[in-house]
């Protein structure tokens, strides 16, 4: 009755009728992905339990993909116990919110967006999934929740909460399986592999996830997105396979038709960035620099964080080839753009800049740049 009156699901824990989890392992051990998502987002929004989320450890041992792609979750049936009905309007709302949260994170960094997204997922989105709906609409709602969950996981990774990010990514993958959504599952697998790769892991499990993402039957734009990352991962294992994946990505991209949205569009600047990462891993620093230059040129004004990160990476590449003055020019612009972005990745780029420039600290322009950086941070 309370759930029906509030138009959202109220758990026994919410009502004080059940003990709240006291460890992060209790929060994540729930096998049902929807119940796990509810528990995690509630903890994010509860100041007394938020600290639990930072106590876990990222684990390669649980880096696995769902095995099947057969929808099996049925929508709630009948009026008893169901808090209302969800329909096309709720599906479209979730699609809009996914775009809004993704754009806000790009414009300002994910630091201040993460909590708002967790609140929307924990209250509105999960509420729609507990509401009555046709089977087709329920699957679409599951897809929407999966995409929002993957996006939240990526924001957590950008905040340094790697174990939590891993759990959200896994939850998003499981929800996409329950929705029968092959494209979102491929994106989830690619995201999980990219997160592990960013943390420095180059194991067969990471490669396996990238391969599974790239071999799924999905739209050409999703395949291109997956193949681009597969090229980066393969560069640490097999040069020929890496270049093959890169070529496949570019061919798929040329014939892809996209619509605006974080899960339906792959910016061309991002493709060039992945090309740069692949070439850099293969030892072609000059080629990587050219690809980064192209990536920066093609980044749209809306890609604020991506543009700034690309600029920092280009400065690092230029310095590695001995072009100090050119690198300083890009790092100066990086310092101008960085204060408006709340992102751990931006902070890591700043740390890398200081480390790389330290041997050149007696160079006048370098000293001025480092002084400027010290004043800002």
Integer Cα distance of 160 and 155 in angstroms: 9
Query: In angstroms, rounded to a whole number, what is the distance separating the alpha carbons of residues 221 and 66?
Result: 22
The answer to the question of residue 272 being in a domain is no
Residue 368 is assigned to a structural domain of this protein: no
CA distances 362 to 31, 100, 326, 338, 359, Å, are: 57, 45, 17, 24, 8
Tell me if 250 is assigned to some domain: no
Average pLDDT estimate for 100-128: 93
**What pairs with residue 132 in β-bridges?**
85
pLDDT beyond 60 at 168: yes
85 beta partners: 132
Q: Could you tell me if residue 342 is inside a domain? A: no
pTM of the model: 0.89
Is residue 13 situated within a structural domain? yes
Give the range among 45-54, 210-219, 300-309 with minimum mean pLDDT: 45-54
Residue 73 lies in a domain: yes
Q: How far apart are CA 369 and CA 376, in angstroms?
A: 11
Q: Is the pLDDT of residue 187 over 70?
A: yes
Q: How many domains does the chain have?
A: 1
Residue-wise pLDDT for 231-262, tens only, equals 999 999 999 999 999 999 999 999 998 888 99
Mean pLDDT of 280-300: 97
pLDDT tens digits, 128-156:
999 989 999 999 999 999 999 999 999 99
Residue 186 lies in a domain: no
The alpha carbons of the chain give a radius of gyration, in whole angstroms, of 22
The pLDDT score that the predictor gives to residue 376 is 78
Domain carrying residue 131: 1-180
Which residues, at least 6 apart from 115, have a Cβ–Cβ distance to it below 8 Å? 44, 45
């Amino acid at each position: 009755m309370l759930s029906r009156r509030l138009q959202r699901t109220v758990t026994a824990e919410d009502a004080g009728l059940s003990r709240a989890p006291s460890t992060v392992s209790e929060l994540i051990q729930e096998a049902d992905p929807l119940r796990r998502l509810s528990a995690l987002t509630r903890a994010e929004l509860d100041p007394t339990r938020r600290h639990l989320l930072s106590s876990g450890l990222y684990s390669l041992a649980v880096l696995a993909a769902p095995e099947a792609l057969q929808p099996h979750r049925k929508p709630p049936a009948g009026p008893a116990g169901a808090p209302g009905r969800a329909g096309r309007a709720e599906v479209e709302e979730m699609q809009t919110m996914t775009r809004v949260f993704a754009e806000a994170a790009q414009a300002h960094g994910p630091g201040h967006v993460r909590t708002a997204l967790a609140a929307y997922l924990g209250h509105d989105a999960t509420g729609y999934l507990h509401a009555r709906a046709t089977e087709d609409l329920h699957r679409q709602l599951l897809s929407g929740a999966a995409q929002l969950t993957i996006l939240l996981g990526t924001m957590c990774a950008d905040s340094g909460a790697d174990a939590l990010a891993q759990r959200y990514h896994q939850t998003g993958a499981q929800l996409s399986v329950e929705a029968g959504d092959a494209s979102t599952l491929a994106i989830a697998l690619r995201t999980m592999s990219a997160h592990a790769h960013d943390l420095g892991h180059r194991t067969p499990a990471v490669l396996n996830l990238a391969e599974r993402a790239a071999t799924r039957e999905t739209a050409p734009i999703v395949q291109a997105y997956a193949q681009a990352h597969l090229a980066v991962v393969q560069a640490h294992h097999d040069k020929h396979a890496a270049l093959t994946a890169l070529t496949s990505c570019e061919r798929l991209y040329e014939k892809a038709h996209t619509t605006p949205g974080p899960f339906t569009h792959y910016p061309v600047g991002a493709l060039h960035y992945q090309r740069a990462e692949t070439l850099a891993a293969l030892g072609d620093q000059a080629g990587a620099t050219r690809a980064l230059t192209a990536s920066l040129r093609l980044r749209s004004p809306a890609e604020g964080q991506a543009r700034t990160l690309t600029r920092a990476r280009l400065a690092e590449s230029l310095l590695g080839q001995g072009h100090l003055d050119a690198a300083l020019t890009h790092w100066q612009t990086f310092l101008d753009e960085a204060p408006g972005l709340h992102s751990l990745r931006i902070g890591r780029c700043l740390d890398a800049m200081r480390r790389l420039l330290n041997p050149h600290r007696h160079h006048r322009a370098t000293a001025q740049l480092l002084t400027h950086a010290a004043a800002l941070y």
